A and B are shown apart, each in its own frame.
Chain A
Amino acid sequence: SQTIHQWPATLVQPVGSPLSLECTVEGTSNPNLYWYRQAAGRGLQLLFYSVGIGQISSEVPQNLSASRPQDRQFILSSKKLLLSDSGFYLCAWSAGGPEQYFGPGTRLTVT
Chain B
Amino acid sequence: GIQVEQSPPDLILQEGANSTLRCNFSDSVNNLQWFHQNPWGQLINLFYIPSGTKQNGRLSATTVATERYSLLYISSSQTTDSGVYFCAGHQGNMLTFGGGTRLMVKP
Residue numbers in A under 8 Å from B84 (CB-CB): 41-42
The complex places the Cα of A100 from the Cα of B43 at a distance, in Å, of 10
* Chain B residues touching A, majority SS: strand
Check A98–B100 contact: CB distance below 8 A: no
User: Is B99 a contact of A43 with CB atoms below 8 Å?
Assistant: yes
The interface bits of chain B over 86-105 (1 if a CB of A lies within 8 angstroms of the residue's CB, else 0) are 10101001111111100000
Q: With CB as the reference atom, state the residue of chain B lying closest to A101.
A: B45
Hey, which chain A residues are within 8 Å of B42, CB to CB? 102, 104-105
Contact between B43 and A90 (Cβ–Cβ < 8 Å)? yes
Whole-angstrom distance between the alpha carbons of A107 and B39 in the complex?
13
Complex contact A51–B93 (CB within 8 A): yes
- Is the CB of B31 closer than 8 A to any CB of chain A? yes
Q: Which residues of B contact A104 (CB under 8 A)?
A: 40-42
Interface size on A, residues (CB 8 A): 24
A74 within 8 A of partner (CB) = no
- Asked if A34 meets B41 with Cβ closer than 8 Å, knowing A44-B86, A100-B33, the reply is no
Interface membership of B28, Cβ < 8 A: no
Chain A min CB distance to B93 (Å): 5
The answer to whether B80 has its CB under 8 Å from any CB of chain A is no
Judge whether A105 and B30 touch: CB under 8 Å.
no
List the A side residues contacting B94 at CB < 8 Å: 46, 59
Is residue A86 contacting chain B, with contact meaning CB distance below 8 A? Answer: no
List chain A residues, Cβ under 8 A from B93.
32, 49, 51, 57
Q: Chain A residues in contact with chain B, CB under 8 A?
A: 32, 34, 38, 41-46, 49, 51, 57, 59, 88, 90, 92, 98-102, 104-105, 107
Cβ-closest 10 pairs across A and B: A102-B43, A98-B31, A44-B97, A98-B90, A99-B48, A105-B41, A42-B100, A43-B99, A42-B99, A49-B93
Task: Identify 28 residue pairs between A and B in the complex whose beta-carbon atoms are under 8 Å apart, listed by A's number.
Answer: A32-B93, A34-B95, A42-B84, A42-B99, A43-B97, A43-B98, A43-B100, A44-B86, A44-B97, A45-B97, A46-B94, A46-B95, A49-B93, A57-B93, A59-B94, A90-B41, A90-B43, A98-B31, A99-B33, A100-B95, A101-B45, A102-B35, A104-B40, A104-B41, A104-B42, A105-B41, A105-B43, A107-B41
